[in-house]
Amino acid sequence: MRRVISLLRFYFFSWVVFTSFFLFFSLTKIHAALTITNLSTSTLNGPDDTVTVSASASGLQNSTQYLQVLLTKEGTTNYFGFTKNKKDEWYQYKSSPSVGDLSSYFYNFTPIGGTWMGDIQAKVDINDSSYKGPGTYTVKLAK
């Protein structure tokens, strides 16, 4: 009986230590500056209209980073849209992408010296319920 209790204590302690490490490292964030430096003047009224987002980032780790463009109707917080990745494929906005989605579909880059500058293309998703037709939309970048 004592051996069973000792084993249970060991497993519980191991679980607590593992969970603490996991939470600490998964919640640790690196503060990076991501700035939109220019937007093309394209009007996003139809499914084939695109906008080019020029951006820069600093304070990054020199490892693969992933970005997506978020569009939202002015005055709302529902994001939508498509972002073009480096494979020349359009992928739909995802609020909580899986690790597999990041590496398979998202626009990616590797910073040099913790910095990056580049252009990303986006377009509206006319089939998304957040698309409200022609009008003013806010463009954001998510890392």
Residue with tokens 């990616």: 108
Choose the weakest-confidence range: 12-21, 81-90, 111-120.
12-21
Mean pLDDT calculated for residue range 77-81? 90
Which pLDDT score, from 0 to 100, does residue 31 have? 53
Average pLDDT taken over every residue of the chain: 76
Mean pLDDT calculated for residue range 15-21? 33
In whole angstroms, what is the distance from residue 110 CA to residue 114 CA? Answer: 9
Whether 56 and 141 have beta carbons less than 8 Å apart is answered as no
Q: Is the pLDDT of residue 137 over 70?
A: yes
Whether 119 and 111 have beta carbons less than 8 Å apart is answered as no
Which pLDDT score, from 0 to 100, does residue 136 have? 77
* Tokens read off for 45: 């009224």
Which pLDDT score, from 0 to 100, does residue 8 have? 35
- Does the model's pTM come out above 0.85? no
Element at 83 (helix H, strand E): strand 82-84
In whole angstroms, what is the distance from residue 114 CA to residue 18 CA? Answer: 30
pLDDT digits 0-9 by tens, 120-130: 999 888 899 98
**Phi and psi at residue 91, to the nearest 5°:** -125, 145
What are the helix (H) ranges across 1-143?
Answer: 2-27, 99-105
Using CB atoms within 10 Å of the CB of residue 107, give its burial: 0 to 12 exposed, 13 to 18 middle, 19+ buried. buried
pLDDT digits 0-9 by tens, 31-53: 567 777 777 766 666 777 888 89
